[in-house]
Amino acid sequence: MTPAKGLIVVSNRLPVVLSRNEDGWGITTGAGGLVSAMAPVLRDRGGTWVGWTGASGEHEAESLLGEFSREAGYSLKPVRLEKEDVADFYYGFANEVIWPLFHDFQSLCNFFPKYWKSYLRVNELYARAVMDSGDPEAYVWVHDYHLMHVGEMLKSMGSRRRAGFFLHIPFPPMDNYLKLPWRRRLLSALLEYDLVGFQTYRDRRNFMQSVQVLLPHVKPQGRGPVIELLLDGRKVRLGAFPISIDYRSFVRTARSPAVSGRVNELKSAMDGRRMLLAVDRLDYSKGITFRLEAFREALEKYPGLRGNVTLMQIMVPSRQEVPRYNALKQEIERLVGEINGLFSRPGWNPVQYQYRSLGREELVAYYRAASMAIVTPLRDGMNLVAKEYCACNVNRRGVLLLSEFAGAAAQLQNGAVLVNPFDREGMAQSIKEALDMPAEEARRRMDRMRDVIRKNDIFRWVDMFLLAAFSRHLDDFPPTYARK
């Protein structure tokens, strides 16, 4: 086999964040599922990551990017966005059109033509950054809904690089997708990639149904995890590749002395009560208000829970500049106050609420200390919190309450307690039944889920995608020290 070319990862954001402080610019490692997924892959293997830093005027701090690159083992290529781009491309088209539409909240969409024009303009900026990056024969891996047109624009610029695309969020049912004014052009742009990857078979099926209606000349063939489409004398592959986590890294962290000490502190603070843990980014798709209503129902219906369980709701700040998100935050805080007002007693509040990001060790300690994780999005591409909780459950005693509408449900259904997040009474009953589950059954369920995640970790996800997209395994991109 010929030596592998380099790898260029393209995403809306770089894996770092630049921010200005009193002493000038500072740089911190980014957060989120994509960073957790791709950073271990590029680390020590070389390659390039193209994206925005999240700050305006970041060209003044490019020396910091160079320092980070030398330590991380791969290069960072910043894309500079003006304030108007951020408003119309990011907050506009990405988060007021694609995000709500693809998560089944089409009533929240704002189909403004200026958003679409900005989306195309910014995708062109990313494509130009790719053209200026690395080996002209490098493999290009584009990520997520912000950049669906990059592959098409690379071709229009004369690029001969092979390019794959992965959609981290769900792809909507055809009836929802057809509401998009630019529906045909967007589908055609996605089909300019060599491979389009989805989280689940359901997402791929939804995509195919839209293709068959809007582009009937495109013919599918094959079956299984990867199928092919025939169009214009070439083949495009479509695949289902459920994203995952670095399982072994989470297990090591969970077993570390620092985390074990913090777990003891958390359990002591619970004073014998059982912790039900929910960790979400602030977003209407996460079903946080539905979950709080279900927990209130459980407390009303099952008085024995009062004083014996605590719901620890950790909410990570997100898109705080958007009025809709601020309104959601206020509604969540109102519900938390209402529940605590109804059921609190001296020494016990039923809901403990934290609005902040947690460091990795702190988060893992909460995972270990919790008797149950409640992961109940109304719609989610995958949801890595569910997998992280299982990986960190090294004592194998926890229970995962998981939404049927999370992508993770397809892989974890044989161990999780599946719930319909829209069914308040059903969720309340499931909370009670999960708390009453015999220890041996809980252990068997957790073992099944941990086994699935261990076998299908982040490195297998990358390997499956690279093999389908470029006929290359992850091992074909060896650590840089092996090339010296």
Residue 138: pLDDT band with limits 50, 70, 90? confident
Among the options 144, 380, 457, 463, which is catalytic? 380
Name the one residue in this structure whose structure tokens are 């913090």.
Answer: 262
Q: Residue 288: in which H helix or E strand, if any?
A: helix 288-301
Is residue 399 a contact partner of residue 444, using CB atoms and an 8 Å limit? no
Query: Which residue carries 């078979």 as its tokens?
Result: 201
Quick one: 268 exposed, middle or buried, by C-beta within 10 A (0-12, 13-18, 19+)? exposed
Question: Tell me, what's the pLDDT at 318?
Answer: 87
- Provide φ and ψ at 483, rounded to 5°: -90, -15
Has residue 458 got a pLDDT over 60? Answer: yes
The answer to whether 380 is a known catalytic residue is yes
The mean pLDDT of 103-125, rounded to a whole number, is 97
Provide the pLDDT for residue 484.
Answer: 37
What does the pLDDT read at residue 65? Answer: 83
Instruction: Identify the bridge partners of residue 354 per DSSP, sorted by sequence position.
Output: 314
Q: Can you list the alpha helix ranges (DSSP code H) found in 2-112?
A: 33-42, 62-72, 83-85, 99-102
Q: What per-residue confidence (pLDDT) applies to 3?
A: 41
Range of weakest confidence among 2-6, 169-173, 285-289: 2-6
pLDDT digits (tens, 9 = 90+) for 301-315: 999 999 999 999 999
Angle at 364 between CA 359 and CA 368, to 5 degrees: 150
**Tokens 């740089």, located at residue:** 27
Please tell me which residue in 168, 194, 280, 283 is annotated as part of the active site: 168
What pLDDT sits at residue 452? 98
pLDDT of the residue at 32: 64
The whole-angstrom distance between residue 15's C-alpha and the CA centroid of its chain comes to 14
The answer on pLDDT for 481 being more than 90 is no
Position 231 pLDDT exceeds 60 = yes
Tokens linked to 64: 């910091």
Is 204 in contact with 222 (CB distance < 8 Å)? no
For the chain, give the mean pLDDT: 91
Beta carbons of 94 and 145 less than 8 angstroms apart: yes
Q: Residue 24 in 3-state DSSP?
A: strand
pLDDT of residue 483: 38
Of 120, 197, 110, the closest CA to residue 152 belongs to 120
Alpha-carbon distances, residue 259 vs 314, 368, 377 (angstroms): 18, 9, 27
The structure tokens 């995640």 sit at 453
Kindly list the distances between the CA atom of residue 310 and the CA atoms of 316, 387, 401, in Å, as whole numbers in the listed order.
19, 22, 15
Name beta bridge partners: 278: 313
Cα–Cα distance, 293 to 46 (Å, whole number): 48
Phi and psi at 172, nearest 5°, equal -75, 160
Give the angle 362-364-366 at the CA atoms, nearest 5°. 75
Predicted confidence (pLDDT) per residue in 63-86, tens digit: 788 878 877 778 889 999 999 999
Calculate mean pLDDT across residues 252-276.
97
Asked whether 157 and 179 are in contact (CB, 8 A), the reply is no
Question: Does 361 have pLDDT greater than 90?
Answer: yes
pLDDT attached to residue 63: 72
62 within 8 A of 30, measured Cβ to Cβ? no
DSSP 98: I
Radius of gyration of the chain from its Cα atoms, rounded to whole angstroms: 23
Sign, Cα dihedral of 252, 256, 259, 265: positive
Question: Which amino acid, 51?
Answer: G
Would you say the C-alpha torsion 59, 60, 64, 70 has a positive or negative sign? positive
Helix (H) / strand (E) element for 146: namely none
Going along the chain from its start, the domains and CATH numbers come out as 7-243+459-470 (3.40.50.2000), 247-455 (3.40.50.2000)
Q: How far apart are CA 247 and CA 251, in angstroms?
A: 6
Task: Examine the pLDDT at 158 and tell me if it is beyond 90.
Answer: yes
Phi, psi of 27 (to 5 degrees): -130, 135
Element (H, E) at 306: none
Coil, helix or strand at residue 186:
helix
Asked if pLDDT for residue 17 goes beyond 90, the answer is no
- Report how far Cα 219 is from the mean position of its chain's Cα atoms: 31
- What is residue 320's predicted lDDT score, i.e. its pLDDT? 77
pLDDT grade for 99, boundaries at 50, 70 and 90: very high
Picking from 138, 149, 206, 136, the residue whose alpha carbon sits closest to that of residue 172 is: 206
Strand partners, 309: 274
Q: Indicate if the pLDDT at residue 22 is higher than 80.
A: no
pLDDT in tens, 366-381: 999 999 999 999 999 9
Q: What is the mean pLDDT of residues 174-189?
A: 98
Confidence tier at 472 by pLDDT (50, 70, 90): confident
Q: What is d(CA 390, CA 367) in angstroms, rounded to the nearest whole number?
A: 8
Are 33 and 406 in contact by the 8 Å Cβ rule? The answer is no
Position 15 confidence tier, pLDDT thresholds 50, 70, 90: confident
The DSSP bridge pattern shows strands 7-13 and 48-52 to be parallel
> Looking at 376-431, which runs of residues are DSSP E strands?
399-403, 417-419
209/447 Cα distance (integer angstroms): 36
pLDDT at 31: 65
Percent of the chain with pLDDT over 90: 76
